[in-house]
């Protein structure tokens, strides 16, 4: 049961972290507010009297151990995850508690699978990277669309965002990823990640209603190229982004998200269209909702709830689609995301 269980939120005062803290409370958990900036933590704690505040630095393992002490799980919302993921995972393994993060950084997620698979499995605990809008949702949709297929030839994840105002964390993570790639781009083809300097094509994607056909940037690669291939036998994984959203996230003068409702969500809407193909047959899954940052919170918190109640299918490092029963997980998100499955 969630009632009374504590969950440490590392990076609790960040844009996504705040949504996670609020949603944990709605689900009956008791968040522990943790992160690197003690002043920002104190300001957040003023909004939530009675919650425990535990400043912790990723270069101070003792402080991380204190931040996780007595917690049932930890959700890492602090990017860039190239810096924070490994130290917080180390602390979670020492505490022998589940770790969930919301990383969209392709290389950071790949590092998690490569570096922690054996240790997490040996510890008998769960490490879930990219349990967020990018990486987690696409993986769940693709897994559900696959159904009884053991393999497929291609998976296409098209992001129909009406715009994208990036947070400071998104910009920082993007800068780190670009530096790690030496300015190159990345795609998943022939069963592996490939770095390249090709110009990204502009295509038209036939989104279902209410979006309809829209111009998209092809091979606008997101974390799905790590999560899907980690457990699905699909040698070609492509992701696409509506042109206006791609322009918004890279523009230097794009504003940060602005709240328009009582939940703190922005006016941004999204439609995620997933198509899995095997030969001449295709299966589809569609998700619709509002605010990619806000919707990350129910994804991450639902993951923690299922882990803590034993509704999992793997041990060690696992993506959402491998760890959870995908259709059931997606149905549980119905208050926040509308999902259609067309197997």
Is residue 96 packed enough to be buried (19+ CB in 10 Å), middle (13-18) or exposed (0-12)?
A: exposed
Please check the confidence at residue 257 and state whether its pLDDT lies above 80: yes
Please check the confidence at residue 2 and state whether its pLDDT lies above 90: no
Say what the pLDDT of residue 220 is: 97
Please check the confidence at residue 1 and state whether its pLDDT lies above 60: no
| pLDDT class of 73 with cuts at 50, 70, 90 | very high
Please check the confidence at residue 126 and state whether its pLDDT lies above 70: yes
* Whether pTM exceeds 0.75: yes
| pLDDT class of 289 with cuts at 50, 70, 90 | very high
Q: Which range is least confidently modeled, 62-66, 249-253, 280-284?
A: 249-253
Domains and CATH numbers, the chain: 6-132+296-327 (3.40.50.720), 133-292+336-342 (3.30.360.10)
Instruction: Decide which of 342 and 230 is more confident.
Output: 230
Report whether the peptide linkage leading into residue 276 is cis, meaning its omega lies within 30 degrees of zero: no
| pLDDT class of 219 with cuts at 50, 70, 90 | very high
Q: Dihedrals φ, ψ of 41, to 5°?
A: -65, -40
Say what the pLDDT of residue 342 is: 83
CA distances, 8 to each of 32, 75, 171, 214, 269 (Å): 4, 6, 24, 40, 29
| pLDDT class of 176 with cuts at 50, 70, 90 | very high
Residues in the chain: 343
Say what the pLDDT of residue 170 is: 96
Q: Are 298 and 20 in contact (CB under 8 A)?
A: no
Please check the confidence at residue 74 and state whether its pLDDT lies above 90: yes
Say what the pLDDT of residue 3 is: 63
| pLDDT class of 15 with cuts at 50, 70, 90 | very high
For the residues 235-259, what does the mean pLDDT come to? 96
Say what the pLDDT of residue 267 is: 97
State the chain's maximal CA–CA distance in angstroms: 58
Say what the pLDDT of residue 89 is: 98
For the residues 126-135, what does the mean pLDDT come to? 98
Please check the confidence at residue 153 and state whether its pLDDT lies above 90: yes
């Amino acid at each position: 049961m969630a009632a009374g269980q504590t969950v440490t939120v590392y990076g609790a005062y960040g844009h996504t972290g705040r949504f996670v803290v609020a949603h944990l409370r709605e689900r009956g958990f008791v968040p522990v507010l943790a992160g690197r900036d003690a002043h920002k933590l104190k300001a957040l704690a003023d909004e939530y009297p009675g919650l425990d505040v535990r400043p912790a630095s990723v270069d101070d393992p003792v402080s991380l151990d204190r931040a996780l002490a007595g917690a049932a799980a930890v959700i890492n919302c602090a990017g860039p995850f190239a810096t924070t993921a490994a130290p917080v995972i180390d602390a979670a393994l020492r505490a022998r508690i589940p770790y969930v993060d919301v990383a969209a950084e392709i290389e950071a997620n790949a590092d998690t699978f490569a570096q922690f698979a054996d240790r997490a499995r040996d510890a008998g605990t769960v490490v879930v990277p990219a349990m967020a809008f990018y990486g987690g949702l696409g993986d769940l949709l693709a897994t559900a669309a696959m159904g009884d297929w053991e393999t497929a030839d291609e998976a296409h994840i098209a992001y129909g965002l009406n715009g994208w105002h990036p947070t400071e964390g998104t910009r920082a993570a993007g800068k780190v990823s670009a530096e790690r790639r030496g300015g190159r781009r990345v795609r998943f083809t022939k069963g592996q990640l490939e770095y390249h300097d090709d110009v990204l094509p502009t295509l038209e994607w036939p989104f279902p209603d209410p979006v309809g056909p829209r111009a998209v940037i092809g091979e606008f690669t997101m974390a799905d190229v790590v999560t899907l291939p980690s457990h699905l036998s699909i040698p070609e994984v492509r992701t696409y982004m509506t042109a206006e959203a791609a322009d918004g996230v890279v523009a230097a003068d794009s504003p940060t998200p602005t709240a328009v409702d009582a939940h703190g969500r922005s006016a941004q809407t999204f439609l995620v269209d997933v198509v899995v193909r095997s030969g001449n047959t295709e299966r589809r899954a569609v998700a619709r909702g509002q605010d990619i940052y806000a919707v990350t919170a129910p994804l991450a918190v639902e993951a923690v709830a299922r882990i803590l109640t034993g509704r999992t299918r793997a041990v060690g490092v696992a993506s959402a689609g491998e760890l959870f029963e995908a259709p059931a997980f997606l149905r549980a998100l119905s208050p926040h995301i509308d999902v259609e499955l067309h197997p």
